[in-house]
């Protein structure tokens, strides 16, 4: 008989085994009612002499996914997780954690405090706290190294690395993997261990297996490199080092204190904001959760250029079939070679097996014909950014596809409604704006056209998720969100250059802020010809000053196309190491001379403010126009698309931290210095500043 202990935890006795089941959808977070229920279950177990072992199991899609993030920052009610875990650890009879789905954070800490851990084959285990800017606070960083060794524990705690059941059984994290019904198997396991006279086992009683102390220094250096600017990974190494040196009982308090301190830190608040914003971004306005996405198994990609190839690779990687349509044999065979090269390097890295590569390539057809597309569910158009060329493709697709097939354009700035008008199926037209290289970049700006139906929007969202991307639904607006904001930063970086800053100074300031790479080093990587082409497309809509500020064109004219020609804003040696080049200074100086500009000293502060606030002001305009639905969507776009540091929470979250009033004052200042047409605060910023509010209220 099942007895409900709290809203979320129930117990049932199976002979001499007590089974405590938690059912707290969606992910069995360790909310207050779960902790209270587990406390009651432990009390029942301890006081009932007829039961000899207890199983902790969860209903639904997963084992405990950790502490309840929604309770963070609010007053916590007893029992706290640490208390429950101490009581599990102190039990006088064995407890078995039966794990399916993911045992994460506090969830894994619960399992670690049990005597035994058994799991379903697909189960995964991790301490992802570091991704939220915090660290395990309930014994995880103390028990895990005792159980699996310092080195294995270190990467799980400091990087949040998850391990599979297969790895977990190898390193001693779990005791058994069961293919069958997990509850039945766990009950059988419990009986066997009791019958064999098994004792309780406590990870807290174990000694830390021997380790090389140099490990920690190496880990610190590696964390500095891999997670530049993040506080928690460094602290994680300190914590595991402490755990390795201190007796368990002494280390509990400092572990908890570290977690608590980090919980209040600005980085953790920003990272937790990102966690929520990324999930919110998947909720699309006007598309209820009941809308069923259409099935997409086969996709046509039109345009075998750089974007089309990248998109093809990610579709093949996700198990879809692809028809790649091009205009010529030459274009298609170039694409085929480029795709083969991408897979070859994955093969060399060891991230793909030869068999798997063959399987993926076997799902690819290259053709110049639009015939035989009746089984295609969705087409992605990735041809030249020319409305006439794209409209022609739309017409051809109309004739070739089933009526219910979706056509998604990868345009980065054309009006998608105008494209939809070229189609007989405007309701089935939307945008999927991938970023280059499409098989690597996580962000996809999905674009809602005026007539796109809710199920089309749901379908492109689901498809992007299937490709492992972070899709964000945006509205129609030139350049959408990411590039539109980027173009303002690019403009300011160029203006600053002609006014007196150097590429190296601007790169230093922006990468010091937290961007993975400065704008000029990035331009050298992307190729100056690409930058010049992007500039040319925007030229008709540029101000006189922007048109005149043509340093990019001057570099191209001097044959400086970036890394690929050994010279761009910097000079590159054979290993592509950058160094300063006086020739660049001379080119910039001649530009100034030609335009009567006298260089002045520019402070780092001015560089950062102009680059950042120009973006934030544009973002405010985007919000006013409704081209992005929420400030959080913009944060998700910039952290996933252009490397805005997640520990600052994205541009809008960061703007609130600076204060909209402060930003408005700076915009007024730069309106005077640079020009009102570039820095006039938007109406939204004016209003928020007057009301003393932020983008997030």
Q: Mind giving me the DSSP string for 509-578?
A: HHHHHT-SS-HHHHHHHH-HHHHHHHHHHHGGGS-HHHHH--HHHHHHHTT--BGGGTBSSSEE-TT--E
CB of 85 or CB of 660, closer to ligand T1G? 85
Region 337-356 residues binding ligand T1G, contact defined as CB under 6 A: none
Q: Using CB under 6 A, which residues numbered 222 to 261 contact ligand T1G?
A: 259
How, if at all, do strands 2-4 and 9-14 pair? antiparallel
Q: Which of 19, 65, 422, 521 binds ligand T1G (CB under 6 A)?
A: 65
Residue closer to ligand T1G (CB basis): 70 or 693: 70
Size of the site for ligand T1G (CB under 6 A): 26
What are the two backbone dihedrals, phi and then psi, of residue 549, each rounded to the nearest 5 degrees? -80, 80
Residue 80, token pair as written in the block: 């706290």
User: Residue 66 Cβ, how far from ligand T1G at the closest point, in Å?
Assistant: 3
Q: What share of the chain is helix, strand, coil (3-state, %, to 5)?
A: 55, 10, 35
Phi, psi of 604 (to 5 degrees): -60, -35
Q: List the one residue from 1, 2, 26, 50 that touches ligand T1G (CB under 6 A).
A: 26
Nearer to ligand T1G, 265 or 671 (CB): 265
Shortest distance, position 262 Cβ to ligand T1G, whole Å? 9
What is the rounded CA–CA span in Å between residue 622 and residue 631?
9
Q: Whole-number minimum distance, CB 428 to ligand T1G, in Å?
A: 27
* Closer residue to ligand T1G, CB minimum distance, 62 or 452: 62
The residue behind tokens 């300063």 is 580
C-alpha 633/C-alpha 630 separation (Å) is: 5
Q: What is the nearest approach in angstroms of ligand T1G to the Cβ of residue 129?
A: 5
Helix, coil or strand: residue 97? strand
Residue-wise burial string across 162-200, b where 16 or more C-beta atoms lie within 10 A, e elsewhere: bbebebbbebebbbbbbeeebbebbbebbbebeeeeeeb
SS3 state at 412: coil
Active site residue 129: yes
CB of 85 to ligand T1G, least distance (A): 9
The β-bridge partners of 634 are none
- What single DSSP character describes residue 695? T
Smallest distance, ligand T1G to C-beta of residue 277, A: 10
Taking CB under 6 A as the rule, does residue 279 contact ligand T1G? yes
- Min dist. Cβ of residue 572 to ligand T1G (A): 40
Footprint of ligand T1G on residues 96-125 (CB under 6 A)?
102, 104-106, 109
Stretch that binds ligand T1G, among 64-72, 244-252, 410-418, 522-530 (CB under 6 A): 64-72
Q: What φ, ψ does residue 473 adopt, rounded to 5°? A: -80, 125
Please select the residue that binds ligand T1G; options are 57, 95, 111, 132, rule is CB under 6 A.
132
Nearer to ligand T1G, 406 or 443 (CB): 443
Which residue, 255 or 381, has its beta carbon nearer to ligand T1G? Answer: 255
Q: Based on CB atoms, which residue is closest to ligand T1G, 154 or 622?
A: 154
CA distance linking residue 397 with residue 414, whole number of Å: 18
Instruction: Rank residues 105 and 562 by Cβ distance to ligand T1G and give the closer one.
Output: 105
Q: Is 158 in the site for ligand T1G (CB under 6 A)?
A: no
Q: Which residues lie closer than 8 Å to 669 by C-beta, 6 or more apart?
A: none
- Tell me which of 3, 46, 83, 109 is the catalytic residue: 109
159 interacts with ligand T1G by CB under 6 A? no
Q: Which residue out of 71, 129, 385, 418 is catalytically annotated? A: 129
DSSP state of 385: S
Q: In what order do the strands lie in the sheet with 378-381?
A: 364-367, 321-325, 298-302, 378-381, 406-409, 429-434, 443-447, 470-474
Rounded to 10 degrees, the C-alpha dihedral 71/73/75/79 comes to: 50
DSSP string, 190-213: HHHHHHTTPPP--GGGSPPPP--T
- String of contacts with ligand T1G for each residue 66-95, x by CB under 6 A: xxxxx----------x--------------
**Among the listed residues 37, 79, 94, 128, the single contact to ligand T1G using CB under 6 A:** 128
Q: Quick check: 133 binds ligand T1G (CB under 6 A)?
A: no
CA 95 to chain centre: 36
691 belongs to the catalytic site:
no
Residue 96 pairs with which residues in a beta bridge? 55, 116
Binding segment for ligand T1G (CB under 6 A), chosen from 36-44, 132-140, 434-442, 591-599, is 132-140
Nearer to ligand T1G, 280 or 604 (CB): 280
Q: Applying CB under 6 A, does 140 fall inside the site for ligand T1G? A: yes
Single out the residue of 137, 568, 645, 649 in contact with ligand T1G (rule: CB under 6 A).
137
- Catalytic site positions: 109, 129
Residue numbers of the site for ligand T1G (CB under 6 A)?
Answer: 26-27, 29, 62, 65-70, 81, 102, 104-106, 109, 128-129, 132, 134, 136-138, 140, 259, 279
């Amino acid at each position: 008989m099942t007895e409900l202990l709290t809203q979320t935890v129930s117990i049932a006795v199976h002979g001499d085994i007590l089974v405590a089941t938690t059912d707290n959808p969606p992910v069995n977070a360790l909310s207050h009612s779960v902790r209270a229920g587990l406390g009651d279950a432990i009390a029942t177990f301890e006081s009932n002499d007829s039961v000899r072992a207890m199983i902790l199991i969860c209903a639904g899609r997963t084992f405990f996914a950790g502490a309840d993030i929604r309770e963070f920052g609010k007053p916590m009610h007893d029992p706290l997780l640490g208390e429950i875990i101490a009581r599990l650890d102190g039990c006088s009879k064995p407890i078995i954690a039966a794990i399916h789905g993911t045992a994460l954070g506090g969830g894994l800490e619960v399992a670690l405090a049990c005597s035994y851990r058994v799991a379903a084959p697909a189960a995964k285990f991790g301490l992802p706290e570091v991704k939220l800017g915090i660290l395990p606070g309930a014994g995880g960083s103390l028990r895990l190294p005792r159980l699996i060794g310092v080195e294995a524990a270190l990467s799980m705690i400091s990087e949040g690395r998850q391990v599979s059941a297969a790895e977990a059984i190898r390193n001693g994290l779990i005791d058994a993997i069961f293919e069958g019904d997990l509850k039945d198997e766990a009950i059988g396991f419990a009986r066997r261990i009791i019958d064999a006279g098994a004792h309780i086992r406590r990870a807290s009683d174990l000694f830390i297996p021997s380790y090389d102390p140099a490990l920690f220094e190496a880990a610190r250096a590696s964390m500095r490199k891999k997670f530049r600017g993040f506080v928690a990974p460094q602290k994680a190494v300190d914590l595991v080092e402490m755990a390795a040196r201190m007796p368990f009982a002494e280390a509990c308090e400092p572990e908890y204190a570290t977690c608590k301190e980090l919980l209040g830190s600005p980085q953790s608040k920003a990272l937790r904001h990102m966690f929520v914003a990324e999930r919110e971004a998947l909720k699309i306005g006007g598309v209820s959760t009941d809308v069923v996405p259409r099935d997409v198994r086969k996709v046509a990609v039109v345009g075998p250029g750089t974007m089309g190839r990248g998109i093809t690779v990610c579709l093949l990687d996700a198990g879809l079939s692809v028809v790649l349509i091009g205009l010529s044999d030459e274009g298609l065979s170039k694409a085929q070679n480029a795709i083969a090269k991408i897979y070859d390097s994955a093969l060399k890295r060891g991230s793909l097996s030869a068999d798997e590569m063959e399987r993926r390539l076997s799902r690819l057809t290259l053709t110049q014909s639009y015939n035989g597309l009746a089984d295609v569910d969705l087409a992605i158009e990735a041809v030249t950014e020319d409305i006439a060329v794209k409209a022609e493709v739309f017409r051809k697709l109309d004739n070739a596809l089933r009526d219910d097939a979706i056509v998604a354009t990868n345009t980065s700035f054309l009006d998608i409604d105008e494209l939809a008008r070229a189609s007989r199926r405007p309701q089935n037209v939307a945008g999927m704006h991938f970023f280059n290289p499409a098989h690597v970049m996580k962000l996809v700006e999905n674009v809602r056209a005026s007539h796109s139906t809710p199920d089309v929007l749901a379908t492109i969202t689901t498809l992007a998720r299937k490709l492992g991307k972070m899709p964000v639904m945006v509205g129609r607006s030139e350049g959408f969100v990411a590039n539109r904001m980027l173009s303002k930063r690019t403009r300011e970086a160029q203006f600053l250059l002609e006014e007196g800053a150097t590429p190296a100074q601007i790169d230093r300031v922006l990468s010091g802020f937290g961007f993975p790479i400065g704008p000029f080093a990035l331009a050298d990587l992307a190729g100056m010809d690409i930058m010049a082409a992007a500039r040319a497309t925007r030229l008709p809509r540029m101000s006189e000053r922007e048109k005149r500020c043509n340093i990019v064109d001057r570099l191209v004219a001097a044959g400086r196309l970036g890394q690929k020609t050994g010279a761009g804003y910097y000079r590159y040696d054979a290993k592509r190491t950058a160094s300063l080049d006086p020739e660049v200074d001379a080119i910039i100086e001649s530009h100034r001379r030609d335009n009567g500009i006298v260089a002045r000293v520019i402070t780092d502060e001015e560089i950062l403010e102009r680059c950042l606030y120009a973006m934030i002001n544009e973002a405010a305009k985007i919000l006013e126009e409704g081209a992005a639905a929420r400030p959080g969507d913009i944060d998700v776009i910039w952290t996933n698309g252009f490397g805005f540091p997640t520990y600052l929470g994205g541009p809008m979250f960061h703007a609130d931290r600076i204060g909209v009033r402060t930003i408005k004052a700076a915009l007024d200042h730069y309106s005077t210095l640079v020009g009102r047409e570039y820095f006039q605060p938007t109406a939204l910023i004016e209003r928020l500043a007057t009301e003393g509010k932020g983008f997030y209220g």
